[in-house]
Structure 1
């Protein structure tokens, strides 16, 4: 099997059209089509089929493309072993939550832009459950996810998981609110992920309360605006500045920590661009 043809199939799975593959690989569309036809003959299976004016991968094509990602990564890793001075190159697809993108990924991008310009980051902002789905679909190479010490995640064995950092969280209330009143207030929780709501319910139960979840939103900036407007209380990072009109009350019984992780599909981390970024993270 010619790995150059296999790369064309992997790129077709990623980009979705022969024309896009041709533009990406600096080839003609007819060349891409011919090379994929030869690949299909080599493996003895139909890999693409017509879909209107375009083409789509057959089930066999999708399976081979999934294997192709691992095969091509292994080839690159082998080449790197034979040439340790080789520069990692390629586009690395990342799905992560906003804080990890700002705190971890953007500093890595700054380093790449100076030291490793052949590695390109493609960044997508997603909550953990969305990032895992993209990872399983091979739509991203790296997921930056989180859990809380009071709502730990169970990572499947198909993933390789690396802890990155932890961040303490506080109870965010309208300025002047006392702690006892805070537990009776309406709560603001995440609209796209349930982990912080699990933490809120655990904390409230430990304080003899049943939390009244009234508002759900994803943006921490919007959460702050709702708190300033007197619409409720929420959990916010203890170490990050908040706008005027908000008090951060420490949580000590127990403490609440958000824990960030870098997650990849098992066996993929040897791919040089991914290995480089994981090391920088």
Structure 2
């Protein structure tokens, strides 16, 4: 049904006469009558009945006018929301990775619930490759992904990244090895040439980072263990069965028997981004979630700029 015709029906119910509707809308009474006649055909029921020289709404006409008030209100609310007016309302499917969930995402959602209760967030946990697939397929609205500065990630066309912050990288070693906490050097790293290394099961960017870092120190690492659970990685390290590379957030909380040695420039940093479909950043609920994530990230990440880069339409997040 045409929104203009529904508005005319609502005005007729409110004002009572075609003449009054004409004065308010600037439309001639003949044109109003034609629009309402078309609306009757669309509805399939009589909406108007003669009442002397005037017309009145039938019971069906009054009921449709009630529906029209709700329909027009929802349309106006949708337009205001898309234009960035009023409070954000809607659901965001947010895909995140494990080490960001507790220290960043949960505090962000607590603030979001207090400040924008009309925004609902559904969490999905995946690594960056799967997160980008979900975004491209429309199964997620916003994603948290990462890349290593020594292993840049290829971002598919149609996805736009917004930087969140960075975190340093550490080498997890057994405390029994006597490893210190001062920044790792190539010479000290070369001493681990015969050590068993721990990597994840995905043969992903982490593997490439370990290989590049060790190659710069002059050896090829023996990746002996494939473990995805961070708690299990720490347990294996504490038992003296291997060494592994961990970002700052994944290295906390500390486990007894494990020493985290800063890798500094040997490994670079892990860069965290918000990822979304190009053109979606102007949606108010998405921007509200992104802002809260940035605020929470300030407490645990480095290089966080709360004043985010502008969206495609020139507005800041």
TM-score above 0.5, yes or no: yes
Aligned to 2:241: 231
Please show how residues 143-222 of structure 1 align to structure 2 within 5 Å. 143-177=143-177, 178=179, 179=188, 180-192=190-202, 194-222=204-232
Q: Distance in 1 between matches of 2:281 and 2:193?
A: 44
Is residue 123 of structure 1 aligned with residue 123 of structure 2?
Answer: yes
Q: Distance in 2 between matches of 1:122 and 1:217?
A: 27
Aligned to 2:270: 258
Please show how residues 26-175 of structure 1 align to structure 2 within 5 Å. 78-80=79-81, 84=85, 86-175=86-175
Gaps of 5+ in 1: 4-74
Offset of residue 210 of structure 1 = 0.7
Kindly tell me: are residues 204 and 80 of structure 1, through their superposed partners in 2, closer, same or farther at Cα, counting changes over 3 Å? same
Q: How high is the TM-score relative to the length of structure 1?
A: 0.68
Aligned to 1:269: 281
Kindly tell me: are residues 138 and 83 of structure 1, through their superposed partners in 2, closer, same or farther at Cα, counting changes over 3 Å? closer
Kindly tell me: are residues 173 and 201 of structure 1, through their superposed partners in 2, closer, same or farther at Cα, counting changes over 3 Å? same
Gaps of 5+ in 2: 4-75, 180-187, 294-317
Kindly tell me: are residues 229 and 269 of structure 1, through their superposed partners in 2, closer, same or farther at Cα, counting changes over 3 Å? same
Q: Does the aligned pair in 1 maintain the 2:94–2:142 contact within 8 Å?
A: yes
Kindly tell me: are residues 161 and 253 of structure 1, through their superposed partners in 2, closer, same or farther at Cα, counting changes over 3 Å? closer
RMSD: 2.5
| Cα distance per residue 1:70-122 (max 9 Å; x no partner) | xxxxx9774236672x2211211011111222232212111122111111110
Q: Does the aligned pair in 2 maintain the 1:146–1:258 contact within 8 Å?
A: yes
Q: Does the aligned pair in 2 maintain the 1:127–1:192 contact within 8 Å?
A: no
Offset of residue 241 of structure 1 = 3.6
Q: Distance in 2 between matches of 1:226 and 1:83?
A: 50
Q: Distance in 2 between matches of 1:236 and 1:2?
A: 59
Aligned to 1:7: none
Q: Distance in 1 between matches of 2:137 and 2:77?
A: 22
Kindly tell me: are residues 77 and 200 of structure 1, through their superposed partners in 2, closer, same or farther at Cα, counting changes over 3 Å? farther
Offset of residue 182 of structure 1 = 2.6
Q: Tell me the number of residue pairs that the alignment of Structure 1 and Structure 2 aligns.
A: 210
Offset of residue 254 of structure 1 = 2.2
Aligned to 1:278: 290
Kindly tell me: are residues 89 and 191 of structure 1, through their superposed partners in 2, closer, same or farther at Cα, counting changes over 3 Å? same
Pick from 251, 259, 278: which aligns with 1:247?
259
Q: Distance in 2 between matches of 1:2 and 1:141?
A: 31
Please show how residues 18-33 of structure 1 align to structure 2 within 5 Å. none
Aligned to 2:15: none
Kindly tell me: are residues 273 and 82 of structure 1, through their superposed partners in 2, closer, same or farther at Cα, counting changes over 3 Å? closer
Question: Which secondary structure state, in structure 2, belongs to the residue aligned with residue 173 of structure 1?
Answer: strand
Question: Which secondary structure state, in structure 2, belongs to the residue aligned with residue 264 of structure 1?
Answer: strand
Q: Distance in 2 between matches of 1:126 and 1:237?
A: 17
Question: Which secondary structure state, in structure 2, belongs to the residue aligned with residue 133 of structure 1?
Answer: helix
